[in-house]
Amino acid sequence: MKRLFICFTLIFVTMIGGPASSAELQTGVDAYEREDYSSALEVFQTLADLGDRKAQFYLGLMYEHGYGVEQDNTMAANWYERAANDGQVEAQYNLAKLYYLGKGVDQDFGMVREWLQRAARQGLAEARYDLGIMYRDGVGVGIDYNSAVTWFTLSAEQGYAEAQYNLGMMYLNGHGVPQDDESAVKWIAQAAGQEFAFAQNNLGVMNDSGRGVAQDHGAAAKWYTLAAEQGYARAQFNLALMNDNGQGVAQDYGAAARWYALAAEQGYAKAQFNLALMYDNGQGVAQDYGAAARWYALAAEQGIGKAQYNLGYMYYEGHGVTQDFTRAYMWMDIAARQGDEDLIKARNTMGDLLSDAQKKTAKRLIRACIEKDYKGC
Q: Which pTM does this prediction carry? A: 0.87
Range of the domain at 212: 204-287
CA distances from 140 to 80, 144, 170, 256, 290 (A): 22, 11, 20, 43, 48
Phi/psi at 333 (5° precision): -65, -45
**Is the same domain home to 247 and 315?**
no
What pLDDT is recorded for position 22?
84
CATH number at residue 252: 1.25.40.10
Q: Is residue 138 part of a domain?
A: no
Please tell me the distance from the alpha carbon of residue 221 to that of residue 67, in angstroms, as a whole number.
44
Q: Quote the number of domains for the chain.
A: 2
**Is the same domain home to 313 and 376?**
yes
Span of 10-24, 129-143, 242-256 with lowest mean pLDDT: 10-24
Tell me the one-letter amino acid at 234. Answer: R
- pLDDT surpassing 50 at residue 3: no
Could you give the 3-state DSSP secondary structure of residue 86? coil
**Is the same domain home to 363 and 320?**
yes
**Is the same domain home to 256 and 330?**
no
Q: Is residue 372 part of a domain?
A: yes
Angle formed at CA 79 by CA 121 and CA 138, multiple of 5 degrees: 45
What pLDDT is recorded for position 53?
95
**Is the same domain home to 350 and 312?**
yes
**Is the same domain home to 283 and 321?**
no
What pLDDT is recorded for position 300?
97
Q: Mean pLDDT score of the chain, rounded to an integer?
A: 93
Contact present, 17 and 48 (Cβ < 8 Å): no
Q: Is residue 354 part of a domain?
A: yes
pLDDT (mean) for 307-331:
97
CA distances from 333 to 78, 163, 182, 206, 244 (A): 59, 45, 45, 37, 30
Q: Which of 258, 287, 316 is the last residue of a domain?
A: 287
**Is the same domain home to 210 and 269?**
yes
- Chain centroid to Cα 95, Å, comes to 24
- Burial bucket for residue 168 (CB in 10 Å: 0-12, 13-18, 19+): buried
- pLDDT surpassing 50 at residue 269: yes
- Give buried/exposed letters for 195-230 (b at 16+ CB in 10 A, else e): ebbbbbbbbbbbbbeeebbeebbebbbbbbbbbbee
What pLDDT is recorded for position 21?
64
Q: Is residue 38 part of a domain?
A: no
* pLDDT > 70 in the chain, percent: 94
**Is the same domain home to 327 and 358?**
yes
Q: What is the pLDDT of residues 6-27, one digit of tens each?
A: 444 444 443 334 444 688 999 9
**Is the same domain home to 324 and 277?**
no
Is the sign of the CA dihedral 109, 112, 118, 124 positive or negative?
Answer: negative
| DSSP secondary structure string for all residues of 158-212 | TT-HHHHHHHHHHHHHTSSS---HHHHHHHHHHHHTTT-HHHHHHHHHHHHHTSS
Phi/psi at 296 (5° precision): -60, -40
**Is the same domain home to 280 and 209?**
yes
Rounded to 10 degrees, what is the CA torsion of 84, 86, 90, 96? 20
**Is the same domain home to 339 and 283?**
no
Contact present, 152 and 172 (Cβ < 8 Å): no
- pLDDT surpassing 50 at residue 33: yes
Contact present, 32 and 24 (Cβ < 8 Å): no
- pLDDT surpassing 60 at residue 5: no
Q: Is residue 216 part of a domain?
A: yes
- pLDDT surpassing 90 at residue 127: yes
- pLDDT surpassing 70 at residue 58: yes
Q: What is the pLDDT of residues 168-227, one digit of tens each?
A: 999 999 999 999 999 999 999 999 999 999 999 999 999 999 999 999 999 999 999 999
365 Cβ contact list (under 8 Å, min separation 6)? 326, 327, 330, 377
Q: Is residue 326 part of a domain?
A: yes
Q: What is the pLDDT of residues 68-88, one digit of tens each?
A: 999 999 999 999 999 999 999
Q: Is residue 16 part of a domain?
A: no
Q: Is residue 228 part of a domain?
A: yes
**Is the same domain home to 282 and 333?**
no
